[in-house]
Structure 1
Amino acid sequence: MGVAGIIRMLREYCKMQELPAAVLASVLCLFVPIQMAGQTWDDHDRSGRFVARDFGQNYLMTLQEKGNPIIYTNGDNDTFPLWYNQETEGFRTDARTCNLSYLQTDWYIDQMKRPAYDSPSLPITWDRVEYVEGQNEYIPIHTEMKAFIDSYFKQANELAAQGDTTILSLVHSIFGENPYELKEIINRWMLGKNDQLKELLKKTGKDIQLPLIPTDSIVMKVDKEAVRRSGMKIPEALGDSIPEYMTITLRDANGNPKRALYKSELMMLEMLANANWERPIYMAITVGSENHLGMGNHFMQEGLAYRFTPFDTDKLDSKIDSEKMYDNLMNKFKFGGIDKPGIYIDENVMRMCYTHRRIFTQLVGQLIKEGKKDKALAALDYAEKMIPAINVPYDWANGAFQMAESYYQLGQNEKANKIIDELANKSLEYMIWYLSLNDNQLAIASENFVYNASLLDAEVRLMEKYKSEELAKHYSTQLDQLYNEYVTRMKGK
């Protein structure tokens, strides 16, 4: 419509013939995309940037080299770069990327049950009829059934103590020797493969129907020799005392008991039960805790992924395998050119840059805790080199505060001051901007002002703790002045 209008205008104004007018209009209109390209080229120039490829490889390089590992992912940015690397670059085709969002569907479970490239099928033994669409979409958790089961075991054990083991044998044949063991729950309660249990539930006269899960605290027997062979780090606090059982407490992201498990969660438990620690299973660190099934206390971080372990890593204070993680970050990971000055970094790439800086700070914190200060300093300096502030500005969200604190702990006050100064100045700028608003606007933005004031307060305290007194005094004075102005203006609001 725009070109036709220009042609008409030119024809009337210049008295030109149809062809010359059309040609002239087309030439003029060519300036529109040229103008657009000229003004926005630098905002879309991806030359020299290989972040999607390299960050995808970093996920895969986190995984153990042996054992055909499995990694659970969930979103686009932690899935498609991995698939690209495996299917196009031929990188780590021995590993299997399993997207939990798709694992809710029968067609995707079909794919996971087939080999792919150099990766064998996933350890899923369910028949297709047991996971086909409409079947076992979710299974409710009925914790009241635990008392029902325990009552039978109590009576049977009392009789067995008197010499009559007949009832105990019958109870074992119905519920299994350990009724809360993961494989027993899958086979008897989820898939209904025990006719005696079905008959017993009918005879109770209650409306109890399978499938169901009779407890929110499941145990899994641990093959200790398989764990020793697996290559996972065994926490020093354990020595050689690997636990007999792993306890899985089914919880949501807020720590509340789950009321049901969806198909993807059932498949996760199925794989965990059958892998037997001989096939490493990982969870990408970018997968939300709502997908952890309450097993976060069994995770050990090795880079961009947590490894499932049979240990309670929270209680053992062993959340990071610093040796593997150091090797991954320092020797294997690639950074897609983000260290080049002026490289274009969009919002999605910036989020992944934040993630990479954060895992460096997590590694450094663990190394300092272990007394490995030389390695900690090397990792900090390498993070500064490969993820420079010129492209990825310091921010609380990307671990910059922890970087400054670590530099202080390592006696590198000049490097620490540089980071904390930039963070404090950013907090200060936000506070000044909020105070430039009128009183009504400031009242609406009150929470944001107080938040930035709290950040600046924490930054000042860190400076004071490590004797950066001149810097601390500079920001402390301004913090007091600005906060007093805020309090004065907000009186009565």
Structure 2
Amino acid sequence: IYLNQAGNQPRERDYAYVGSFYAFAVWIGLGVLNIGDWLGKSLNKTTAAGLATVLCLLAVPVVMAQQEWDDHDRSKKVLSRDLAKDYLESCAPNAVLFTFGDNDTYPLWYAQEVEGIRPDIRVINYSLLGIDWYINELRYKVNQSAPIDVIWTAEQIEGGKRDYALYRPKPNIPEDRYYDLYDLMKNYVGSDDPTKMEDRENGLLSTFPVRKFSVPVDKNLVLANKTVNATDSVVNELRFELPKPSLLKNDMAVLNIIAATKFTRPIYFTNPSVDLGFDQFLRRDGLSYRLVPVQNSRVNADWMKEKALNVFAAGNANLKGVYFDEENRRHLNSIRSAYADLAIELANTGKKEEARKVLEKVDKMMSEENFAYGMVSRGNMHNRNSLMFLEACYMADAKGLIEKVAAAVKKDLQQQIKYYNTLTGIKAENMEDEKRMAESYVEGMERMKTIYNPAISIPGKLMAPRDTVK
């Protein structure tokens, strides 16, 4: 009806409403004429027209305020700012933080430029890294953030140069070993040598001959600058394999920055699914994920615990009357999942009391009225995340929370199943997957209860703990 885009829209796109704006404006004009005619029965036409205009000018904002003021009061709705603060405060000093898209980036820029939160961090929007001028801006100091080495010169990336690079193996270059990323990006992908490029109709295209890369690791350096902890198993070099046969300029810029930095500066991502092959080296440090030379290091518990208990905020989700729409709830789920990850890590290392404190903290940050544990959502992702949180509660032996979360999730799932059972015909067929999923989650809750029964020794976990919210 309103021409607005369906699906995952983080914000309303007002320009899609233009047709309805015109129609509404026509009716406003007709209304003014009607009031003018009505007043014209007892007043002269000039006075009636003027009075009708004044009355409508006053009536429209007054009625709008009277009807809509409470619905549009966002003075307590600060989730964007708090989420930006949480991402920034998750990072070590002088860090580089990669974001993905405008909606992730704008709150971070606001927090830095307006509220002065962590101006030492360089926020880099991955979506803009495909543009030469944006890459060139990284060469300069911004606020308290030092310049960044992007390897290539401005001339090498000017305009459409190196917008794209293709994997083209060479017979004389073995593919069964790992190649230094810096050397490869600087002297091969960045080369204008025709023998290292592919001739296309529109000119020469950059190529890369291998998909296995490495970044050297100075163990003394990464220990000294606290990239890793003393108990970590640090690799001699960060080895990864590119999962795709081509690279966009965005991808190459990220790889260049990693290759040039060599762990002298912290590098973080707001999302662990980067699709460049080094996901196994991303460790959760709060809400952000840090690139570390430690394989499959899930959570930096000691770093994150202090932030989780004393720094992170959740947009007044504990206050009555603050509304959180679907997109807001997705981010609240990210915060809750981060706390669950931390609690699981603490419980796994025998720190159950600390794990309970973490879970109780995030429980108080979000009221049931604003953000219930049990809630229907697309793909039932909300309940899935709540089940992961429930497992963390079991692992931490948080009895009160176990009862609270389990009751809420089970009630919602049972309501869903009851509704699906009322459907018939094509509607029942269309919702069969959702019904099976809800039933499997109910069964999973029963298995979880058995697995974590102290009287029964059954090792194992049911829910994937890592970043279930994308």
1:81 to 93, 107, 119: 107
Instruction: Measure the CA separation in 2 of the matches of 1:293 and 1:438.
Output: 45
Q: CA 1:186–1:364 in 2, change beyond 3 Å: closer, same or farther?
A: same
The AA in structure 1 aligned to 2:119 is T
1:120 to 114, 134, 146: 146
Q: CA 1:441–1:149 in 2, change beyond 3 Å: closer, same or farther?
A: closer
The AA in structure 1 aligned to 2:107 is P
How many angstroms does 1:100 deviate by?
0.4
1:340 alignment partner, SS class:
coil
Instruction: Measure the CA separation in 1 of the matches of 2:251 and 2:195.
Output: 28
The answer to whether the aligner puts 1:296 opposite 2:324 as a matched pair is: no
Counterpart in the other structure of 1:191: 190
Instruction: Measure the CA separation in 2 of the matches of 1:467 and 1:305.
Output: 33
Counterpart in the other structure of 2:24: none
> What TM-score does the superposition give when structure 1 sets the normalisation length?
0.77
2:414 to 417, 428, 431: 428
Instruction: Measure the CA separation in 2 of the matches of 1:75 and 1:200.
Output: 32
Instruction: Measure the CA separation in 2 of the matches of 1:14 and 1:368.
Output: 81
> What TM-score does the superposition give when structure 2 sets the normalisation length?
0.81
1:400 to 386, 403, 426: 386
Counterpart in the other structure of 1:471: none
- 1:14-53 matches, cutoff 5 A: 14=42, 17-20=45-48, 22-24=50-52, 26-27=54-55, 30-53=58-81
How many angstroms does 1:16 deviate by?
5.3
Instruction: Measure the CA separation in 2 of the matches of 1:113 and 1:75.
Output: 21
The AA in structure 2 aligned to 1:404 is L
Check conservation: 1:220, 1:247, Cα contact below 8 A.
yes
Give unpaired runs (5+ residues) of structure 2: 1-28, 199-203, 375-379, 455-470
- 1:147-226 matches, cutoff 5 A: 147-150=171-174, 180-192=179-191, 211-226=206-221
Instruction: Measure the CA separation in 1 of the matches of 2:42 and 2:446.
Output: 71
- 1:124-143 matches, cutoff 5 A: 124-142=150-168
How many angstroms does 1:361 deviate by?
0.7
Counterpart in the other structure of 2:460: none
Share of identical aligned residues, percent? 26
How many angstroms does 1:464 deviate by?
5.0
2:165 alignment partner, SS class:
strand
Q: CA 1:425–1:35 in 2, change beyond 3 Å: closer, same or farther?
A: farther
CA RMSD of aligned residues (A): 2.8
Instruction: Measure the CA separation in 2 of the matches of 1:327 and 1:137.
Output: 42
Q: CA 1:181–1:21 in 2, change beyond 3 Å: closer, same or farther?
A: closer
2:140 alignment partner, SS class:
coil
Counterpart in the other structure of 2:293: 310
Instruction: Measure the CA separation in 2 of the matches of 1:149 and 1:454.
Output: 50
Which structure features the higher share of helix residues?
Answer: 1
The answer to whether the aligner puts 1:247 opposite 2:239 as a matched pair is: yes
Deviates more, 1:459-468 or 1:379-388: 459-468
Counterpart in the other structure of 2:228: 233
Q: CA 1:185–1:28 in 2, change beyond 3 Å: closer, same or farther?
A: closer
Instruction: Measure the CA separation in 2 of the matches of 1:57 and 1:199.
Output: 48
Deviates more, 1:336-345 or 1:111-120: 336-345
How many angstroms does 1:112 deviate by?
1.1
Counterpart in the other structure of 1:70: 96
Instruction: Measure the CA separation in 2 of the matches of 1:427 and 1:347.
Output: 18
The AA in structure 1 aligned to 2:112 is Q
Counterpart in the other structure of 1:416: 402
The AA in structure 2 aligned to 1:55 is L
Counterpart in the other structure of 2:134: 108
